[in-house]
């Protein structure tokens, strides 16, 4: 299954490789910037220009949780491999670690001086990685919310970072 999100405010799942649309989700009020399957495959998370992060249940075909707390558009979202936490990266210069079970923000990651463009978890660890328009990439301890390392060297906005 392929998952996509677009400027049309919709997410879609597509059969692979034939390309038939399986499901479409609507509920965001602005463009979708990120989408990610829960590791179990039964749910997904989306991020949007409407400042929200939403959790969707595929069997119910709808949004089951809206996470609010960013003050500007949310550029990216990522699901932790344990399936209990979601991370979000925002134009407001922060990232957030959300506890899906308690439906709350566990930590707000502060330290970037401009928009945070991407976030992802190192699989099977408590380490998160962010990239920012401030030209830096940061490593964070998602258990404490503290930044543990800053990578510097880009001369323009860093739009994405990933682990191997």
Query: CB-based burial of residue 147 (10 Å sphere; 0-12 exposed, 13-18 middle, 19+ buried)?
Result: middle
What are the pLDDT tens digits along the chain (164 aa)?
A: 999 999 999 999 999 999 999 999 999 999 999 999 999 989 999 999 999 999 999 988 899 999 999 999 999 999 999 999 999 999 999 999 999 999 999 999 999 999 999 999 999 999 999 999 999 999 999 999 999 999 999 999 999 999 99
Helix (H, G, I), strand (E, B) or coil at 42: coil
What pairing do the DSSP bridges indicate for beta strands 62-68 and 74-79? unpaired
Per-residue tokens: 107? 């930590």
CA-CA distance, 60 to 77, in Å (whole number)?
21
pLDDT score for 61: 81
Burial of 39 (0-12, 13-18, 19+ CB in 10 A): middle
Helix or strand (DSSP H, E) at 104: strand 104-110
Whole-model pTM? 0.95
Question: Whole-angstrom Cα distance, residue 75 to residue 49?
Answer: 7
Residue 22 confidence (pLDDT) = 94
**In this predicted structure, what is the pLDDT of residue 60?**
87
Query: Contact, 74 vs 33, CB < 8 A?
Result: yes
For the chain, domain boundaries: 32-152
pLDDT of the residue at 100: 96
Cα–Cα nearest to 69, from 96, 101, 35, 103: 96
The values of phi and psi at residue 102, to 5°, are: -85, -10
The HSE-up count of residue 83 (CA atoms within 13 Å, CB side) is: 8
Greatest Cα-to-Cα distance within the chain, rounded to the nearest angstrom: 45
CATH architecture, domain 32-152:
7 Propeller (2.130)
């Amino acid at each position: 299954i392929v998952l996509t999100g677009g400027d049309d405010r919709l997410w879609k799942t597509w059969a692979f490789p034939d390309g038939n649309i399986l499901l479409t989700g609507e509920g965001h009020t602005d463009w979708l910037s990120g989408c990610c399957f829960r590791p179990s495959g039964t749910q997904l998370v989306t991020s949007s220009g409407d400042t929200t992060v939403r959790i969707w249940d595929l069997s119910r075909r709808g949004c089951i949780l809206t996470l609010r707390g960013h003050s500007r558009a949310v550029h990216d979202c990522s699901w932790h491999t344990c399936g209990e936490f979601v991370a979000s990266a925002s134009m407001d210069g922060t990232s957030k670690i959300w506890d899906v079970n308690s439906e709350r923000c566990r930590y707000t990651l502060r330290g970037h001086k401009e928009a945070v463009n991407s976030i992802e978890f190192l699989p099977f660890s408590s380490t998160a990685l962010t990239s920012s328009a401030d030209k830096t990439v940061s490593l964070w301890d998602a258990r404490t919310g503290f930044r543990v390392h800053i990578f510097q060297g880009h001369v323009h906005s860093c739009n994405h970072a990933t682990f191997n």
